[in-house]
Structure formats: C-alpha cells, structure tokens
Structure 1
C-alpha cells in the first residue's frame, strides 16, 4: 500500500513538471490552448463521474461490448468510427471528456483524434472497463448493464 502511494505521488510530480515548459508557457496546440491529457485509474474515473456534471463520457468499444455494460451516460463512439462521428462529438470540445475502452488500447489510440477535433481536457481511463468489472460492487452506481 505504501509503495502504491509513493508511485502515485511520483507520477503526479512528474506530470506537474512535464506540463511546464522552460519559460512557463504551455503551447501544445495550434490555437495556444492548454492541452491536458490525464491518465486516471478506474477509481479516479468513478470519482470524476460522480463529481463532474459537465463530463462527457466516451466509450470507444464495439456496440456489442457497450451493450454488455458501460458507464452510465457514456456515448458510444467505436474507435474505428471516430472520424465518422467527428461532427457529433465536436460540439462538446469545451467540456472535459473521459474516454475508455475494455483495456485502454483503443482509447489510447482515439486520444489523438480527439485532440485534433479540439478537445483539450481529456481523461483517459487507461486500465479500461475490464478493471472496473473486477471490482464491480464498488461501481454499481456508475455502471449500466
């Protein structure tokens, strides 16, 4: 448990330092807005869903996977259809977005497209929904089956 706490603290500190450039300005996109991409655990995702009313939740799995269970309020945008869905999701670029898939691979691929579409605050549930399913009792209030 202590080791886990130390690892989390180190990751947070590295994230803080890596977000700052030499002169203190952040310039990650063409329009000079700050791009924030945060890797979060399933437990952090649950807290985010519970506390952030503006959060847009995007599930990039297949329709079949989505229908087996998903986070309440999640919008299904299969990762291989993200370009086709651009018009539907671009209207949410001013809001924070939580993106997830089963294991984190497809959602990681989708992040670059979301950045191109103008999303600047992206939370990535890198462990995927399969990690939630391991602890499903802790997540009953945010899952739909």
Structure 2
C-alpha cells in the first residue's frame, strides 16, 4: 500500500473533508478483511454502481485491492466515468 497516498486520505478525513476509501475486491474478500471506514464495490460492478452511489465527481476517492492490480484498474474506470480526484493506494499485500 502506498503510504504517502494513504496519509493524504487520513489527512482529509481528520480535517473533516469527505473522502471515499474504496475496496474493489470481491464481496467475499471484503468480508474476510478490510480497512476500517472503507466501502466495497467489486471491480466488476464499479461501472454500474459508482455514479449512482457517489454522484459527486469531485469526491476524493482512494482505491485499494489485494495486490494493486484491481486498484489501478478501478482508478482508471473511475476516471473514465468522470471522477477527477482518484488515487490508487495499491494493495493490502
């Protein structure tokens, strides 16, 4: 996990600003372990659910997964959908 980017997330939250910590792993993986405060939208559902659940395209979004590959892909999908403040944290492993 990219510590610098995670520190940016923590700084936003501590200052009272909204930010989304997004886990793009499967629901099963999320159920086994996840970061406190994160929400789960599996990568294969991201295009369908993101804008409906989080319509503010300015919302800072920090994406993570297990190894970093899905986080990178998820961040790219969110940018394609019009979100402009998206960062990939990489993976938990």
| Secondary structure at the counterpart of residue 66 of structure 2 | coil
Q: Secondary structure at the match of 1:47?
A: helix
The aligned runs of 1:58-77 (5 Å cut-off) are 58-77=22-41
2:20 paired residue number: 56
Structure scoring higher RCO (CA < 8 A, sep ≥ 6) equals 2
TM-score, normalised via structure 2 length: 0.81
- The alignment's TM-score, normalised by the length of structure 1, stands at 0.55
Please state how far the C-alpha of 1:92 moved relative to its aligned partner.
3.2
Give structure 1 regions of 4+ aligned residues with deviation exceeding 6 angstroms: none
| Structure 1 runs not aligned, ≥5 long | 1-39, 131-145
Counterpart of 1:123 in structure 2 is 87
The match for 2:59 is: 95
Unaligned 5+ segments in structure 2 are none
Of structures 1 and 2, the larger Rg is shown by 1
CA RMSD of aligned residues (A): 1.7
Q: Indicate conservation of the 8 Å contact 1:56/1:92, yes or no.
A: no
Is the contact between residue 101 and residue 129 of structure 1 (CA under 8 Å) also seen in structure 2?
yes
1-structure distance, mates of 2:45, 2:57: 18
Q: Please state if 1:84 is matched with 2:44.
A: no
Q: Deviations over 1:15-57 (max 9, x none)?
A: xxxxxxxxxxxxxxxxxxxxxxxxx71x224422321122211
